[in-house]
Structure 1
Amino acid sequence: MSVTKATVHVCATISLLVLMVETVRAQSALALYGELDGGLAWLNNVGGRRQYKVTSGLIDGSFWGLQGFEDLGGGSKAIFQIERGLSMTSGNSLDDHPFYVGISSETLGTVTIGYQYDPIHDYLAPFTMTGGTGGTAFAHPFDNDNANNSYLAHNALKYESQSFSGLRFGGMYALSNAAGRFSNNRAYGVGASYQDGPLNAGAAWLHVSGVGSNESGAYDAMTMYGAQRSVFDAIVQSRDSYGVGVTYAFSGVTLGGAWSRSTFTEITDSNGGSEMPSMGFSNYELNAAFQLMPSVSLAGSYTYTKGSNQHWHLGGIQAVDRLSKRTDVYAEAIYQRSSNDAPALINGSDPSSSRNQLLVGAGIRHRF
């Protein structure tokens, strides 16, 4: 009789342990995911010559990632995300995706710490073509407002609220990490978005100071402005970017618009170190997306950018055919025309030798 009781006790204990393991599993999750984007492109003028090239990330940068959470109880959970960008053409890894860990609460919002996107990405970019369906080549000249995520913030603390009747808001502070130089190479900004049925709107502001003044700070000078060095061989110490955007959806059509302003001050020549004039860019964009068929969508945009003494016109169109839930093919054409004294440079490409540049491309994307 005692053996039977012992056996029952052992079986009950094993069953309880199994139940506890299954409960723990149910309270946490881990996902491996990513995207690969490769294609072909033709440009009419790169340094005075035509260019044919294999592309990586013509719309979205290719990457892989790990994301997970652990339920902490009381409506809270620990979260993390690790992503690594990569080039489909060279195989090189890229630091263009976030790494962070944090705590999320159903009532209090989410706090994260790490290498992260800024409020421009979170609250303004979704209303632009480059931050929405269009991707890389539709970025405003030199990605001056960072709507295409040319750089992320190191040492960043972020907060994002839960939704209050469609309203969300948040902010970021990226520390300099320099002893005795708290304000050198730091960044901070805020943003908010609102959704009410078919109407969506958002606004954001970001300030960056002392860029590259220390190696452990919020931004590295080469990373932040590397894409512009072929045109503006300069180091920028301070910048402000801000803007607003709105979209309205109806009957398979989404109409949108965005305005942003970026100012760059404390500019020095990267060779001689001499001071250079401040620069400013204002971007005015109109965009639209159409769901032509269940698997086929069409989108386009026009942006006028006014610089300090220069201007740019940027227009493009893009078609996407979803072959499955994970795979699609796309084609696009983007044209940029600048004023006589300004370079034409479609984002992700090398500059034209004239005031015009045309890109025609096609590719395939797969998500896993």
Structure 2
Amino acid sequence: MHKPFATTSSSKPFSARAALAFAALAAAASAPVHAQSSVTLYGIIDEGINYTSNVQTSPGHGHNLYSLSSGILSGSRWGLRGVEDLGGGLKALFVLESGFDVNNGKMGQGSLLFGRQAYVGLSGRFGTVTLGRQYDPVVDYIHPLMPSAMFSGSIGAHPGDLDNLNNTNRVNNAVKYRTPSYAGLTAEGMYSFGGVPGSMAGNQIYSIGAGYARGPLNVGVGYLSARNPNASFFGTAVGATAATNNFGSSPVINGYASAQSEEIISAGATYAIGAATVGAIYSNTKYKHLSGAASVLNPAGMGGTATFNSAELSFQYQLTTALSVGAAYNYTDGGAANDAKYHQGALSADYVVSKRTDFYLIGVLQHASGTDSTGHAARASLNGLTPSSGNQQATVRFAVRHKF
């Protein structure tokens, strides 16, 4: 079948020339696309051994617990990040990021496939617009300044992560805009559609933030408002419904799931002085218009507004190029609504053995007093761990973290 083409003298030169021309055109057309587009696979695996005191096993009874846990200093994850140059300074971009538990292989963030982030957008001289499941501006600007992000991990976050500064909750159905940088100053605005038929404001979330980063100084401020947070802000995982309490297991806040709205105002700063970095964080969190009727969303039948003020100081020091240490103290006051107060301290050390791998040690101690959101005597409740049987709890963690 192929013999006529192989033996025809006129077809051979023509075929060769055509093939060369086609290859040249294909190379010319494809080379710029490959040079200006990229997709990156990345991830972090964070795994270690924990000792935790006074883990409640039944009301009023607790025992020490030794366990493996995943994703404390950095959430264990894998993701895809892509960018394409569209010309004229305009770029298309996307991020798909999935959290997971190293110990059992389960997906994180309530078993969502891309529970950490999932968005697509455009960026250019005007700034960046992204659409999808995203971090809110408060998280974008304040979280990087938190000791929990720098050295104390999620177990060192504010009690119950009541102000979401440790990024427990992402925002679904969100449109976000970020300005270009003006001499180190940027700002963001975000709006999340509530998805309630006939109600534009139902379950909506909106947030604004701004930051300044130049030289040794980093500053961030932010504000977030969530309507019906049990469904819009906390109820974003598989199986979550407005009728169930989606606030998690921490008695610090899970008694406020009946709130009709939640507001968070926060500010933070870090300043580097040689090998040392000092920092401060403040947040004001309000769970507003509580139902006043006892239910699964409000076990204490609390009404009105529950307000938390939280302040934290931190210090980090780079002892050598490989070894750094950190210390932080946080005080959280629940105000008149429940009179709960939480004192928390954290110490850490991190040793880098390569560009991708480090070992770290974290210790956190918390003391609680007053009455918590459930209407009972406040129990210590380190973020992400099983609450204590009493008013004090400590944890120590040794772990390895590998980035790829």
Which aligned pairs between 1:144-163 and structure 2 lie closer than 5 A?
144-163=162-181
What SS class does the counterpart of residue 218 from structure 2 fall into?
Answer: strand
CA distance in 2, matches of 1:166, 1:216: 33
- 1:178–1:217: 8 Å Cα contact kept in structure 2? no
CA RMSD of aligned residues (A): 2.4
TM-score, normalization by structure 1: 0.93
- 2:341–2:368: 8 Å Cα contact kept in structure 1? yes
Aligned match of 1:366:
402
- 2:250–2:381: 8 Å Cα contact kept in structure 1? no
Change (3 A) 1:214 1:79: closer
Change (3 A) 1:272 1:317: closer
1:232 lines up with 2:254 in the alignment: yes
CA distance in 1, matches of 2:135, 2:167: 7
CA distance in 2, matches of 1:259, 1:84: 30
Aligned match of 2:302:
276
Which aligned pairs between 1:29-48 and structure 2 lie closer than 5 A?
29-47=38-56, 48=62
Q: Which amino acid aligns with 1:94?
A: G
Match of 2:344 among 314, 321, 329: 314
Name whichever of 67-76 and 207-216 sits farther off: 207-216
Q: Which amino acid aligns with 1:286?
A: L
CA distance in 1, matches of 2:205, 2:167: 15
- 2:84–2:93: 8 Å Cα contact kept in structure 1? yes
Q: Which amino acid aligns with 2:22?
A: T
Larger Rg: 2
Aligned match of 2:391:
355
CA distance in 1, matches of 2:103, 2:213: 39
Change (3 A) 1:104 1:360: same
What percent of counterpart residues are identical? 35
Aligned match of 1:299:
326
CA distance in 2, matches of 1:364, 1:353: 29
1:339 lines up with 2:369 in the alignment: yes
Give the C-alpha shift of residue 271 in structure 1: 2.6
- 1:254–1:289: 8 Å Cα contact kept in structure 2? yes
Unpaired runs of 5+ in structure 1? Answer: none
What do residues 64-90 of structure 1 show as CA deviations (whole Å, max 9, x unaligned)? Answer: 100101111111110000011111122
TM-score, normalization by structure 2: 0.85
Change (3 A) 1:76 1:223: farther
Q: Which amino acid aligns with 1:154?
A: N
Higher strand share: 1
What do residues 121-147 of structure 1 show as CA deviations (whole Å, max 9, x unaligned)? Answer: 101122211233322011101101101
CA distance in 1, matches of 2:388, 2:196: 40
Q: Which runs of 4+ in 1 moved over 4 A?
A: 1-10, 212-224, 272-275
Change (3 A) 1:264 1:21: same
- Aligned pairs, number: 367
CA distance in 1, matches of 2:252, 2:279: 32
1:53 lines up with 2:67 in the alignment: yes
CA distance in 1, matches of 2:211, 2:101: 32
Change (3 A) 1:182 1:58: same
Give the C-alpha shift of residue 230 in structure 1: 8.6
Change (3 A) 1:153 1:224: farther
1:99 lines up with 2:118 in the alignment: yes
Which aligned pairs between 1:1-368 and structure 2 lie closer than 5 A?
7-8=16-17, 10-47=19-56, 48-95=62-109, 96-105=115-124, 107-212=125-230, 225-228=247-250, 232-235=254-257, 236-268=259-291, 269-271=294-296, 275-277=301-303, 278-308=305-335, 309-340=339-370, 341-368=377-404
Unpaired runs of 5+ in structure 2? Answer: 1-8, 57-61, 110-114, 371-376
CA distance in 2, matches of 1:332, 1:194: 29
Q: Which amino acid aligns with 1:334?
A: V
What do residues 278-327 of structure 1 show as CA deviations (whole Å, max 9, x unaligned)? Answer: 21111111011111111111112111111121211111011111111111
Q: Which amino acid aligns with 2:30?
A: V
Give the C-alpha shift of residue 232 in structure 1: 3.4
Q: Which amino acid aligns with 2:53?
A: N
Q: Which amino acid aligns with 1:263?
A: K
What do residues 205-241 of structure 1 show as CA deviations (whole Å, max 9, x unaligned)? Answer: 0000123458998786668512436973452331100
